[in-house]
Amino acid sequence: MIIERAYASVVPSEKGRWPWSLPCVRELLGGGLRFTAPVTFVVGENGSGKSTLVEALAEGFGLDSWGGSHDWRYASHREKSVLGERIRFDPAPRGRRMLRNWSDRRGFFLRAETALDALQREGLAPESVSHGEGFLAAFRGKFLQPGLYVMDEPEAALSFSSCLELIGHIDHVVKGGGQVICATHSPVLTALPGADIVEVGEHGVRRAAWHDLDLVDHWRRYLADPQAYLRHVLDAE
């Protein structure tokens, strides 16, 4: 493990403003978000704040919000977000060394929207490869050392079989002492044995078992009977 808890503080004048208005972000102001396993999946509907949360965790660790590895410190020249500036960690012993000394820090932030740009910057994704192959190049080339690996919806560019390959890379990096935090809509990724699943929404933050997730239930029902869903979104002839 690298980090055991993330938390944040807010000045009174900012209370009620975005991002503090997001229920999952407000949780950081109390007891914070605890990490109980080397792999944490953050799930929730669009707009629930899961991407805002994982981006801030990456920024708090010192990774560029644009995406990339610890070797590219704010290469995009973007300022940290309000939340990224306020994030603090209770680190595990390995993480304590990383947070104390930049030279000891290891990690990677992969976000779907900017992944290829970040990977090309690091020489990992030549223009001739597909979006998905570029993602896999990052996993093969950067998920190697013990560190903090943060991902925002990596399944966006991956086929079913590539998602399975990503699970193998995640398993490899955590067995080597790394930690993974991943925002996702994927029932394939969240099925990784031993992973902690955090569901965010209007309720704030809660732990959930894979088989109890709404996203798993909806995919199961849709694959069993697509018309039960499609009849509500397609115009009747």
Give residue-wise pLDDT tens across range 185-217.
999 999 999 999 999 999 999 999 999 999 999
| Between 103 and 138, residue with greater pLDDT | 103
> In whole numbers, what is the pLDDT of the chain averaged over residues?
87
Residue 237 domain-assigned?
A: no
Range 59-85 average pLDDT = 76
Q: Is residue 186 part of a domain?
A: yes
Q: Is residue 125 part of a domain?
A: yes
Q: What is the DSSP letter of 79?
A: P
The tally of domains found in the chain comes to 1
Q: Does 29 reside within a domain?
A: yes
Global confidence as pTM: 0.91
SS3 at position 221? helix
Closest CA to 38 of 185, 192, 187, 160: 192
What does the pLDDT read at residue 137? Answer: 75
179 in a domain, yes or no? Answer: yes
- Band (pLDDT 50/70/90 cuts) for residue 143 is confident
More confident residue, 39 or 231: 39
**What is the DSSP secondary-structure string of 85-125?**
HH-EEEE-HHHHHHHH-GGG--EEEEEGGGHHHHHHHTT--
Q: Cα–Cα–Cα angle for 146, 147, 153, nearest 5°?
A: 120
Distance, in Å, from the CA atom of 194 to the CA atom of 18, rounded to the nearest integer, reads 33
Domain that holds residue 170: 3-230
CA distance 6 to 189: 23
Q: What local confidence, expressed as pLDDT, does residue 128 receive? A: 59
Location of structure tokens 């009620």: 16
Q: Tell me whether residue 235 is in a domain.
A: no
- Higher pLDDT residue, 3 or 129? 3
Q: 4: helix, coil or strand?
A: strand
Query: What would the pLDDT profile of 104-138 be if each residue is shown by its tens digit?
Result: 889 989 887 766 676 666 666 556 566 677 777 77
Query: What CATH number did the domain enclosing 46 receive?
Result: 3.40.50
**What does the DSSP 8-state code read for residue 21?**
T
Q: Answer yes or no: is 42 within a domain.
A: yes
Q: What's residue 132's pLDDT?
A: 75
**Look-up of token digits 């900017």:** 114
